[in-house]
Amino acid sequence: MTEPISLQPDETFVLNVGPQHPATHGVLRVKMTMDGEYIYNAETVLGYIHRMHEKMAENRTYPQFMPNMGRLDYLSAMAFNHGYALVVERACGIEVPERAEYIRVITVELNRISSHLVWLGAYVLDLGGFTPLMYCFDDREQILDLLESVTGSRLTYCYFRFGGLYNDIDDDFISGTRAFIKRMRKELKMYAKLVTGNIILMRRLKDHGPVDQDMCQRYGATGPVARGSGINYDVRRNEPYSVYPEFDFEVPVYGECDSYARYLVRMDEMEQSLRIIEQALDKLPDGPVNPKKKPKLIKPPPGDYFAAVETARGNFGIRMVSDGSKNAYRLKLRSPTYSNMHLFDEACRGMLIADALAFMGSLDLVIPEMDR
């Protein structure tokens, strides 16, 4: 795979991957021009589940739009809630009580672990290993149960409110989360033995799927994709929001620029998320979870506002333009996989098709978030 392949464009054929294909984990189509088993050119076709969330934002009031955030990235819905809450709070100057901030961090990090678990299971399944999926979904089930008990939903959370939360956590949740941390630490060791060191997995991922730093900059890749290319970029660190500065955690960075580096970044992130949750539970202050003073009607002053958060897939930004009314004048959702997937077209050129699909899995795609 390392030596350059001499490509003869007149001997190519077009291979259509998707829109319904198990390897794309959603409704994504890639038009590949193939030279035998090698990809000569690829063109990603998006928009099969485009729902025009940005227009919906213009037709709904600010609180009414909150449930949409859970429908963008169904695996990391909590972080999307957080981003939207942050931008509206910034615009309206709403203060968030400290307890609410801590609970936000706990739930977002739990959600991040559950997102990475789905990725891990599905990714290894793509590569031909069925068993890890079962273990991953078993662990994820614990998180879903915990989050269901406080948020009321299992997947498409709408838990955050402007300035606070829908619901306070109870002792059952705290003890359940502590038990989960203990369990998950053990499970992560098991995953390391079961998957990470597996020779077949390593041979499939190492030195495949090159994404260098220059490419990251040109495409705006963020999250584990950038961190797998040696870029120490995590919005939680680089642009601290909420109470993240109070926690001691590391941002895993691997410089190998291959699929295996991205794999390792996500595995390490789960460990770090556990650390954050543990510290947040220890420090969890008492108090209300909703502010005492909060405008009855959310009407941000005119102007544009921006907020970014780190979701499980990278930097999610919201640009909000307000004209002072109760609907947003314009709301732009900058989703991380949109930029991360874009580099696939360039990076997969000259790859074997089987390697390209392994590479695609390492980008951790969630299609509804790309299509919006």
Partner 1 sequence: MKIQEKTKEALSTLFADLPPSEPEPDDAEEGEKKPVPRGNGIIEQDYLLKGFHLDVQLESEQLLEAVQIIFDLGYYLESITGVDWIKDDQLEVVYDFSRYDFDLCRTVLRTRLPRSAPQLPSITPIYTGASWHERETHDFFGIIFDGHPHLVPLLLPEDADFHPLLKDFKA
Size of the site for partner 1 (CB under 8 A): 48
CB of 85 to partner 1, least distance (A): 13
What does the per-residue mask of binding to partner 1 show for 188-227, with x meaning CB under 8 A? ----------------------------xxxxxxx---x-
CB of 337 to partner 1, least distance (A): 11
Q: Which of 31, 178, 306, 326 binds partner 1 (CB under 8 A)?
A: 306
- When the beta carbons of 7 and 46 are compared against partner 1, the nearer one is 46
Using rule CB under 8 A, residue 62 touches partner 1: no
| Binding range to partner 1, per CB under 8 A, among 46-54, 114-122, 172-180, 258-266 | 46-54
Q: Which of 122, 124, 267, 307 binds partner 1 (CB under 8 A)?
A: 307
Using rule CB under 8 A, residue 317 touches partner 1: yes
CB of 363 to partner 1, least distance (A): 14
Q: Which of 114, 254, 342, 347 binds partner 1 (CB under 8 A)?
A: 342
- C-alpha–C-alpha distance, residues 243 and 280, integer Å: 9
Tokens for 6, please give them. Answer: 């001499």
Using rule CB under 8 A, residue 329 touches partner 1: yes
Q: Which of 343, 353, 356, 366 binds partner 1 (CB under 8 A)?
A: 343
- When the beta carbons of 7 and 321 are compared against partner 1, the nearer one is 321
CB of 142 to partner 1, least distance (A): 34
Question: Within 228-267, which residues bind partner 1 (CB under 8 A)?
Answer: 231-233, 237-239
Secondary structure of the chain as H, E, C letters: CCCCCCCCHHHCEEEEECCEEHHHCEECEEEEEEECCEEEEEEEECCCCCCCHHHHHHHCEHHHHHHHHCCCCCCCHHHHHHHHHHHHHHHHCCCCCHHHHHHHHHHHHHHHHHHHHHHHHHHHHHCCCCHHHHHHHHHHHHHHHHHHHHHCCCCCCCCEECCEECCCCCHHHHHHHHHHHHHHHHHHHHHHHHHHCCHHHHHHHCCCCCCCHHHHHHHCCCCHHHHCCCCCCCHHHHCCCCCHHHCCCCCCCCCCCCHHHHHHHHHHHHHHHHHHHHHHHHHCCCCCCCCCCCCCCCCCCCEEEEEEEEECCEEEEEEEEECCCCECCEEEEECHHHHHHHHHHHHCCCCEHHHHHHHHHHCCCCHHHHHC
CB of 338 to partner 1, least distance (A): 7
Question: Within 286-305, which residues bind partner 1 (CB under 8 A)?
Answer: 301-305
Using rule CB under 8 A, residue 185 touches partner 1: no
- When the beta carbons of 24 and 151 are compared against partner 1, the nearer one is 24
Using rule CB under 8 A, residue 369 touches partner 1: no
Burial class, 165, CB count within 10 angstroms (exposed 0-12 / middle 13-18 / buried 19+): buried
Burial class, 80, CB count within 10 angstroms (exposed 0-12 / middle 13-18 / buried 19+): buried
Tokens for 262, please give them. Answer: 């991205």
CB of 346 to partner 1, least distance (A): 7
Using rule CB under 8 A, residue 372 touches partner 1: yes
Q: Which of 14, 55, 179, 288 binds partner 1 (CB under 8 A)?
A: 55
Binding site for partner 1 (CB under 8 A): 46-47, 50, 52, 54-55, 58, 87, 90, 216-222, 226, 231-233, 237-239, 301-308, 315, 317, 319, 321, 323-324, 329-330, 332, 334, 338-339, 342-343, 346, 371-372
